Structure 1
Amino acid sequence: MNGKADPRTAGERTTSRARLDRGRGALGPALELVHTGRAPTRAVLTAELGVTRATAGAVAAELEALGLIRVDARPGSAAGSQGRPSHRLEVAEDGPVALAAQIHADGFRAALVGLGGRIVATAPGCETVDADPAKVLASVVEAGAELLRTTGRRCVGAGLAVPSAVAEPDGLALNPLHLAWPVGAPVRRIFAECVRAAGLDGPAFTGNDVNLVALAEHRHGAGRGARDLLCVATGHRGVGGALVLDGRLHTGSSGLALEVGHLTVNPEGRPCHCGGRGCLDVEADPLALLVEAGLEPGPELSLLRQADDLLRTRYDDPAVRRAAEALIDRLGLGLAGLVNILNPDRIVLGGLHRTLLAADPGRLRAVVADRSLWGQSGGVPILPCTLDHSSLVGAAELAWQPVLDDPLTALAGATA
C-alpha cells in the first residue's frame, strides 16, 4: 500500500458529497413530501423537487440515515408494468416521535405521534380537568413522558391542543370558557416549563384545537389537496373553526382568526358565554343536541359521546330526528355565511358535526347551497374529517414543523 486513495473511489466520494451539499436545502421539502404522502417513490420525489435523480437519491439516503424515512430499493413491480420500478419511500416506523397532548372540557389525553401523522402510542385519558392549568398540563406531560420511557423513542418536541383561542405572540388562552381556567392563562409558557421539568429538551408549542384539526386534516386527512380549506368542528363543548390558505394555517394578526362559534344563527336562541344569543357555540354543540331532544345529560359519559350515541342509535326517534335537523339547519346557516365570506374550495367537519353530516348529508348540503352565493354557483364539497384523533395529530404537527423546516439542525437537539 502506498497510502494513496484509489482515484475512482475518491472521485465517487467527492461527487456524492457534492450532490448531498446541493440537496441539503432540499432535505426539509423532501421530508415534507414523504410525510404528507405526496412522494411515495424516488421518481416522484425527483419530479417534485426539480432535481436530478442522483441528487434526489442522495437526499433520500440522508433522510434514511437520520432515521426519518425508509427507502425500499427493491419494490415489487405491478402486474403488467415494464422497466425497473422506482425506489419506494416511506416514513420510518421506528423513527422519532412528537409528544402530543389535548385538553378538552371532559378530560385530557397524551400520545406519541410519528411522521405521517401515525399515532404510535396513547396514554389512558383522564376524565377531569382541574381549574389550575399548571396541574393539568403537568399531568398530561407526565403521561406523555411515561410513554416515551416505555417505548424508548426519541422525541423531537411537544405540541398541545387547547379548546381556546391562543393569542400570539405570548401563547395566552383568551377564552377557555369550558375549562374554568383563568382568562389569559399563559398556557404556552406553562406547557414549556412542564416539558422541561419532565426532562424533554425539544421545543414546546401550543395551539387552538380546531386550528390543529384543520392542519392535521389538510396534511393527512380529508383536506389533503385543498387550496383553501375551511374546517368547522364541535368537540366536547362549543364550536370552533379554522382556515388553511395555500397550505398554511391562517391565524390572523394575533392568532384569533376564525372564531366561528360566535356567529349568530338563531337570534332568539340560547344565551352564549360571549354575551350574545343564539351563537353556533351554544346552538350546534353536543349539549345543544341533547337539550333539543329533551334529554337530561348524564354524568357517566362525556357530552360528545352521549350526543354521538344518540344520533347513531336513536335517529329514528322523531324527537331525536327533529333535534338533529334543527342543529343541521343552524350549522348550515353558519357554514353558508362562512362560504360567502371565505369562498373555500372544501369544507371538512369534525366532532359531532361529522356525525350530523353522516346522519343527513343531503339536508346540510342543501342548506349551504341554498343560503350561499358560491354554493348556488356549483357547490362546495362538504366532507367528514377522516382522522380519529385529529387534534392530537395536529398538535404533533406543531412539534414536527422544525424538523420539516431543517431536519439536521432540529434532530441535533432531539432527546432519546
Structure 2
Amino acid sequence: MPGPAARPAPDRGRTVLGPALALVHTGRAPTRSALTEALGVTRATAGAVASELAALGLVTVDARPAGGGRGRPSHRLAVDPAGPVVLAAQIHADGFSVALAGLGGVLEEPVDLPLPRPGDPGRVLRAVAEAGARLVAASPRSCLGAALAVPTPVAEPDGTALAALYLDWPAGTPVTDLFAAAVAEAVPGAALPTAVANDANLAALAEHRHGAGRDARHLLYVTSGHRGVGGALVVDGRLHTGSAGLALEVGQLVVDPAGRPCPCGRRGCLDVEADPPALLAAAGRTPRPGEPLLDAARAVTRAAGRDPAARAAVDRVADRLGAGIAGMVNILDPDRIVLGGLHRDLLAAAPERLPAAVAGQCLWGRRAGVPLLPAALERPDLAGAAELAWQPYLDDPSAVAA
C-alpha cells in the first residue's frame, strides 16, 4: 500500500489530514464538499486529502457524486469497510468483553467471557489479551492497536489503577504495563500499540463522537454497569481528566450519610446508592447464580409498572441518582447529560421522577433546562476503548503506513 511519501498532498492538506479523518470517522463529512466546508480549505486541497486517506486504506471516495442539494454534486466519503481495525476490550465485575472495531464507531460482534479465577490482575489481563488475539487472528483485516476500558481511575502518566474496588485488585496495580505485556505475548510479532483508561471516560468519549452526546459542548456522562457509578465530562470535544487523570470520580459523592456502606469506607456514596446491587437490595431481589448484576437490575426496572416493590425500588434509586446529578450540575453546568448502563434504564422507568429529582435539588431548578438523555450506544465502554485505540491514527493518519 503506498504511503504518504508516494501520494504527496499540499502542505495545507497534510496539516488537516487528521481533522479530515476525524470528520469522516464521526459522520460529519459524508461528502467531499462537506469536508471542504468543515476544514475551510479549497476543493483541490479537500480532494487531495480525501485521496490520501483513500490511499492509506482508511476511507473510500465514491466516484458517483451525491446529488440532491444546491450547487455541484459532490463525491461521497465513507470509512473503508475493508480497512484496518483495532482491538477494544472492557473489564467489569462480572466478566470481560473484546471486539474488533473499524473506523466509524461500529463494533464487530463482541465476545463476552467470565473473569478467570483467581482474578489477579496478571491472570485477568492475559485472558483478555488471549481472547482478543483470537479475534485478530480470525480477521482478514490488519489490526493497528489495542485498548482496554477498566472500572477504576487510571493515574496519568504512570498508568496505575488506583481503586479497582470491585475487581479486588491492589491499589497501584500497573494495569497499563501489564496489559501491554499481555498483548505483546498474545499477539507476537505485531508490536501493537496499547492503552488503558477508565471505562466511564471512554464511554463518554464514544457517546460524544457517535451517540447521544454529539455536538454537546459540555457533556456530563453518568453510568452504572455492574457495580459502582462512573462519570465523565467532555468539554469542547476533549475529556476533562484533571491533573493526573483522576477527575470526575462521581461515585464518591455522598447522597445519603446514613446509607449503604461503601468500599471506600464511608456510607451513602453514589457508588452504592445508585448501582445494580442497590436497586436489587431495595427491591428485595437476589440474582440467579451466574446472572450478571446489570441484567438482574434491568429486570427490576422493567417490572416497575406492575410490581409495587420494583416501583418503590426504582423510585428510591432514582431519587438518590437525581441528588447526585444535581450536585454535579451545580458544579459543572453542563449543556447535556447522558445516562448509560442501569441509569439509562432508570430514566426509562422513571421518565418524570428522575428529571424532577435533578431539578428539585439543582440550584437553577427546572429553569436550568439541561437535557437528560439515554445513551444511544449499546456498548459505549467497548466503543470508547476503540476510540482510544484509534486516537493515534486520528491524530496522524500517516502512521497507518508506518
Match in the other structure for 1:231: 221
Superposed, which structure 2 residues align to 1:361-372 within 5 Å? Answer: 361-372=351-362
1:265 to 1:50, Cα distance in 2 relative to 1, 3 A: same
* 2:67 is the counterpart of 1:64: no
* 2:345 is the counterpart of 1:345: no
8 Å contact 2:336–2:372 — kept in the other structure?
Answer: yes
Select between 382-391 and 19-28 the one with higher mean Cα deviation: 19-28
What secondary structure sits across from 2:345 in the alignment?
A: helix
Deviations 1:77-116 (A, max 9, x none): 34xx565421111111111111111000000011101111
Alpha-carbon distance between aligned partners in 1 of 2:7 and 2:292, rounded to the nearest angstrom: 56
Alpha-carbon distance between aligned partners in 1 of 2:383 and 2:251, rounded to the nearest angstrom: 22
8 Å contact 1:113–1:121 — kept in the other structure?
Answer: no
* 2:326 is the counterpart of 1:336: yes
* 2:387 is the counterpart of 1:387: no
Once the two structures are TM-superposed, the CA of residue 35 in structure 1 deviates from its matched residue by 0.6
Match in the other structure for 2:160: 172
Q: One-letter code of the match for 1:400? A: W
8 Å contact 2:116–2:124 — kept in the other structure?
Answer: no
Alpha-carbon distance between aligned partners in 2 of 1:389 and 1:230, rounded to the nearest angstrom: 18
Q: One-letter code of the match for 1:194? A: A
Superposed, which structure 2 residues align to 1:158-307 within 5 Å? Answer: 158-197=146-185, 198-199=187-188, 200-307=190-297
1:18 to 1:201, Cα distance in 2 relative to 1, 3 A: closer
Once the two structures are TM-superposed, the CA of residue 120 in structure 1 deviates from its matched residue by 2.2
Identity score, percent: 62
What secondary structure sits across from 1:397 in the alignment?
A: helix
Match in the other structure for 1:412: 401
* 2:94 is the counterpart of 1:113: no
8 Å contact 1:111–1:123 — kept in the other structure?
Answer: yes
1:82 to 1:219, Cα distance in 2 relative to 1, 3 A: closer
Deviations 1:289-309 (A, max 9, x none): 110011223323111010112
Alpha-carbon distance between aligned partners in 1 of 2:218 and 2:164, rounded to the nearest angstrom: 27
What secondary structure sits across from 1:255 in the alignment?
A: coil
User: Equivalent of 1:311, from 301, 304, 309?
Assistant: 301
1:249 to 1:53, Cα distance in 2 relative to 1, 3 A: same
Once the two structures are TM-superposed, the CA of residue 195 in structure 1 deviates from its matched residue by 1.6
RMSD over equivalenced CA pairs, Å: 1.6
Match in the other structure for 1:135: 123
Task: Give structure 2 stretches of 5+ with no counterpart.
Answer: 1-5
8 Å contact 1:117–1:393 — kept in the other structure?
Answer: yes
Q: State the aligned residue count.
A: 395
8 Å contact 2:303–2:310 — kept in the other structure?
Answer: no
What secondary structure sits across from 1:373 in the alignment?
A: coil
Match in the other structure for 2:43: 53
Q: One-letter code of the match for 2:98? A: A
8 Å contact 1:242–1:258 — kept in the other structure?
Answer: yes
Alpha-carbon distance between aligned partners in 1 of 2:319 and 2:54, rounded to the nearest angstrom: 50
8 Å contact 1:173–1:185 — kept in the other structure?
Answer: yes
What secondary structure sits across from 1:117 in the alignment?
A: coil
What secondary structure sits across from 2:204 in the alignment?
A: helix
8 Å contact 1:271–1:277 — kept in the other structure?
Answer: yes
8 Å contact 1:36–1:219 — kept in the other structure?
Answer: yes
Alpha-carbon distance between aligned partners in 2 of 1:386 and 1:148, rounded to the nearest angstrom: 27
Alpha-carbon distance between aligned partners in 2 of 1:64 and 1:143, rounded to the nearest angstrom: 31
8 Å contact 2:116–2:127 — kept in the other structure?
Answer: no
Once the two structures are TM-superposed, the CA of residue 158 in structure 1 deviates from its matched residue by 0.7
Match in the other structure for 1:89: 77
Alpha-carbon distance between aligned partners in 2 of 1:145 and 1:110, rounded to the nearest angstrom: 10
What secondary structure sits across from 1:119 in the alignment?
A: coil
Deviations 1:324-371 (A, max 9, x none): 000000000000000000000000011100000011111111111121
Alpha-carbon distance between aligned partners in 1 of 2:7 and 2:199, rounded to the nearest angstrom: 43
Task: Give structure 1 stretches of 5+ with no counterpart.
Answer: 1-15
8 Å contact 1:159–1:398 — kept in the other structure?
Answer: yes
User: Equivalent of 2:29, from 34, 39, 47?
Assistant: 39
Deviations 1:135-155 (A, max 9, x none): 111111111111111112211
